[in-house]
Amino acid sequence: MSAARVRFAPSPTGFLHVGSARTALFNWIYARSVGGRMLLRIEDTDEARNQPEAVDLIYDLLTWLGIDWDEAPLLQSQRRERHREAVESLLECGAAYLCDADNQPVAGTTLRAGLAARFRMPAGRKVSFHDAVRGEVSFASDDLEDFVVWRSGGAATFLLANAVDDVDMGVSHAIRGEDLLSGAPKVILLLEALGAPPPVYAHLPLLVNAARKKLSKRRDDVSLGDYRARGYLPEAMANHLALLGWGPTDGVEIRPMAEIIQQFRLADVNRAPAFFDTKKLEHFNGVYIRALSTEEYLRRSEPWLGEAAPWPAERTRPEVLEALAPVVQEKVRTLGDIGRYVDWLFLEEPPADDDSWRKAMGGPQAPAVLDDAIATYAAADWTPEAAHAAALALAERHDLKLGKAQAPIRVALTGRTVGPPLFESMVLLDRAEVLRRLRNARARLDSEPAG
């Protein structure tokens, strides 16, 4: 065990940024790797945009990711008096001073409405500290200005609240984004004036977009909740996030969190920004989905196949989903993709996809293949094997490879060139329905040739 205490301090804005999630994860991994404690502090001092549901969403998403915490979360909104005390003590010892709306100093040491308080930046100081990921970092106090610690509206600013709360929570390591690095010397000086030792800082490299800019809520796809909604598995997301700014020495990237915790060292964290590459995330997700047992896969895909499915819920046939599960599970990269693979089995008509139609029906042999398929499947046994054998024979009659011959049939039935294995899935539809779709496609070919 160690006395390490770390904290994740999000503000409840209604969503959780993947960058914040990564910060939370690194804090948690560090805590678990050294036997320390993980704490939460909800920075809900901005009443304007605070919603109580937003706090629950944070708990929910962290839990989803696999992050737990060891003590009741601290709500910063309830700490106003404590913050006021701290500012007053700063005013009393002269480390801070009052000022009016025009930033003119005002004599006195009593906080009152309409007046803000600024920290008095000492002259000629060199503020150095050892950052656990960056090493020695140093700032000159002369480059720093007198910053506001108490707003005229009657509330502490981020810097002050952060410093005081960390002290009161006994935070030993402040692990956070690099965007806060420039604020560190101010907090250190603040803490010094307050007579408290600073925590060990660890500034993580930022997560950036393709343009190498800090991920932004407006431009980028950064809502953790959105990824969950699209069918990313939490273990894939956590695994991927853990590899942004850190990597195991043995090169094994996809692995249980327990092993990551075992190998993680704060000092091994990179210092350069990392691109949040969703391509790699998708790959990870596919690997994790394939690793699921079929039962587990079925259970976890349920949320995407009920009311949220791309077909009327009452048309869902669970036995079909179940029968197809193993083959769909192999292909899909997110649970949200499942719908597009199996929708044609539940929709009244195959989904319309012009590209697929042109691709499969454009060839000169399409009409003949469809005619043949109609005759063939009117008679064939209704099993995958028989459907396969029939298609092989059909292909031979038209002097085509099976891959080429099945294309018009696939598109006639499923609407798309891409989908689950055809013979295994087509027999899950009634023979009459298969024939109807084949005839419809054949008729469409006459009325509007695809070539």
Partner RNA sequence: GCCCCCAUCGUCCAGCGGCCUAGGACACCGCCCUUUCAAGGCGGAAACACGGGUUCGAAUCCCGUUGGGGGUACCA
Catalytic residue numbers? 217
Question: Is 16 a residue that touches RNA (CB under 7 A)?
Answer: no
Give me the least distance between CB of 340 and RNA, in Å please.
11
Q: Which two tokens stand for residue 191?
A: 């803490």
Give me the least distance between CB of 149 and RNA, in Å please.
9
Segment 181-240, which members bind RNA (CB under 7 A)? Answer: 181-183, 205-206, 208, 211-214
Angle value at C-alpha 83, between 81 and 89, nearest 5 degrees:
105
Nearer to RNA, 262 or 270 (CB): 270
In sequence order, the β-bridge partners of residue 98 are: 106, 117
Binding residue (CB under 7 A) for RNA from 5, 120, 388, 442: 388
State the distance between the two ends of the chain, measured CA to CA, in whole angstroms.
72
CA distance 125 to 188: 12
Question: Is 270 a residue that touches RNA (CB under 7 A)?
Answer: yes
Give me the least distance between CB of 314 and RNA, in Å please.
27
- Single-letter residue type at 57: L
Segment 106-135, which members bind RNA (CB under 7 A)? Answer: 116, 134-135
Segment 279-318, which members bind RNA (CB under 7 A)? Answer: 279-280, 282-283, 286-287, 290
Cβ neighbours for 278, distance < 8 A, ≥ 6 positions apart: 221
Candidate ranges 54-62, 77-85, 178-186, 375-383; the one touching RNA (CB under 7 A): 178-186
For 93, the 3-state DSSP assignment is coil
Candidate ranges 23-31, 221-229, 270-278, 300-308; the one touching RNA (CB under 7 A): 270-278
CA distance 310 to 327: 19
Question: Is 80 a residue that touches RNA (CB under 7 A)?
Answer: no
Question: Is 43 a residue that touches RNA (CB under 7 A)?
Answer: yes
Nearer to RNA, 75 or 298 (CB): 75
Would you put residue 208 in left (φ > 0), alpha (ψ -120 to 50) or beta? Answer: beta
Nearer to RNA, 138 or 447 (CB): 138
Segment 396-425, which members bind RNA (CB under 7 A)? Answer: 402-403, 406-407, 410, 417-424
CA distance 238 to 52: 26
CA distance 381 to 389: 10
The torsion defined by the Cα of 218, 219, 221 and 225, in degrees rounded to 10, comes to 0
342 close to 321: Cβ distance less than 8 angstroms: yes
Candidate ranges 58-66, 99-107, 220-228, 310-318; the one touching RNA (CB under 7 A): 99-107
Nearer to RNA, 192 or 282 (CB): 282
Q: What is the largest distance, in Å, between two alpha-carbon atoms of the chain?
A: 99
Nearer to RNA, 134 or 173 (CB): 134
| Look-up of token digits 């906080």 | 111
Phi first, then psi, for residue 94 (nearest 5°) are 85, 5
Segment 133-152, which members bind RNA (CB under 7 A)? Answer: 134-140, 143, 145, 147-148, 151-152
Residue 272: C-alpha distances to residues 59, 201, 221, 325 (Å): 29, 17, 21, 42
CA distance 156 to 143: 23
Give me the least distance between CB of 407 and RNA, in Å please.
6
Of the CA atoms within 13 Å of residue 232, those in its CB half-sphere come to: 25
- Single-letter residue type at 409: I
Give me the least distance between CB of 283 and RNA, in Å please.
4
Question: Is 153 a residue that touches RNA (CB under 7 A)?
Answer: yes
Give me the least distance between CB of 316 and RNA, in Å please.
22
Nearer to RNA, 3 or 140 (CB): 140
CA distance 319 to 263: 44
Give me the least distance between CB of 348 and RNA, in Å please.
22
Segment 311-370, which members bind RNA (CB under 7 A)? Answer: 327, 330-331, 333
Nearer to RNA, 1 or 401 (CB): 401
Binding residue (CB under 7 A) for RNA from 53, 56, 71, 179: 179
Question: Is 439 a residue that touches RNA (CB under 7 A)?
Answer: no
Please tell me the count of residues contacting RNA according to CB under 7 A: 84
Phi first, then psi, for residue 327 (nearest 5°) are -80, -30
Nearer to RNA, 1 or 101 (CB): 101
Question: Is 165 a residue that touches RNA (CB under 7 A)?
Answer: no
